[in-house]
């Protein structure tokens, strides 16, 4: 875990150094706000996962790449007791009519646009879902998507008589 924190700290130091030394900082901040962040989670497999969000991302050859499309904060929760996947997405400043949610094989695509605010994220899903069961609600800038997991086929056991 320490290694991941050191990598993120190093990345942020390089990002801020580039922004403060750049001559185009005034142009960037005047155009649209830029932000970058990351979320640390531990998956059910016990491994740490880092999810990045924002519209300014450090790249290997170019440390600041600003776009007008924001990558919202996304949280996924697999509730095995209720056999449902809950995806929570933060998209402030839009209405539910501006949201477009699509389910593909192994992927949830969320896109929203209103005025100068644009959000887009593709969330990979490792579980088999029942797309027809999907229900979404949008309250106070938070999209909550609930999708039932496909039930595992029941194995039928047949006894074979030995002759």
Alpha carbon distance 29, 27 (integer Å): 6
Q: Are 63 and 78 contained in the same domain?
A: no
When pLDDT is cut at 50, 70 and 90, the band that residue 58 belongs to is: low
Alpha carbon distance 114, 127 (integer Å): 31
Residue 87, exposed/middle/buried by CB under 10 A (0-12, 13-18, 19+)?
Answer: buried
- Domain boundary at 67, 96, 117, which? 67
Is 156 domain-assigned?
A: no
Average model confidence (pLDDT) for the chain?
A: 79
Is 160 domain-assigned?
A: no
Looking at the chain, the whole-number percentage of residues with pLDDT higher than 90 is: 22
Over residues 31-48, mean pLDDT: 72
pLDDT at 28 exceeding the cut of 50:
no
* Structural domain of 39: 1-67
Q: Are 59 and 100 contained in the same domain?
A: no
């Amino acid at each position: 875990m320490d290694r991941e924190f050191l990598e993120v700290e190093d990345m942020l130091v390089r990002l801020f150094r580039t922004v403060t030394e750049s001559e185009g900082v005034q142009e960037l901040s005047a155009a649209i706000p830029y932000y970058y962040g990351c979320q640390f989670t531990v998956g059910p497999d016990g491994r740490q996962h880092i999810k990045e969000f924002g519209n300014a991302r450090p790249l290997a050859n170019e440390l600041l790449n600003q776009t007008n499309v924001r990558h919202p904060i996304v949280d996924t929760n697999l509730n095995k007791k209720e056999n449902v996947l809950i995806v929570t997405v933060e998209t402030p400043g839009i209405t539910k009519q501006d949201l477009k949610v699509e389910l593909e094989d192994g992927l949830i695509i969320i896109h929203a646009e209103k005025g100068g605010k644009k959000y887009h994220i593709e969330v990979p899903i490792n579980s088999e879902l029942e797309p027809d069961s999907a229900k979404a609600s949008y309250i106070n800038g938070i999209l909550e998507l609930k999708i039932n997991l496909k039930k595992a086929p029941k194995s039928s056991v047949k006894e074979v008589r030995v002759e």
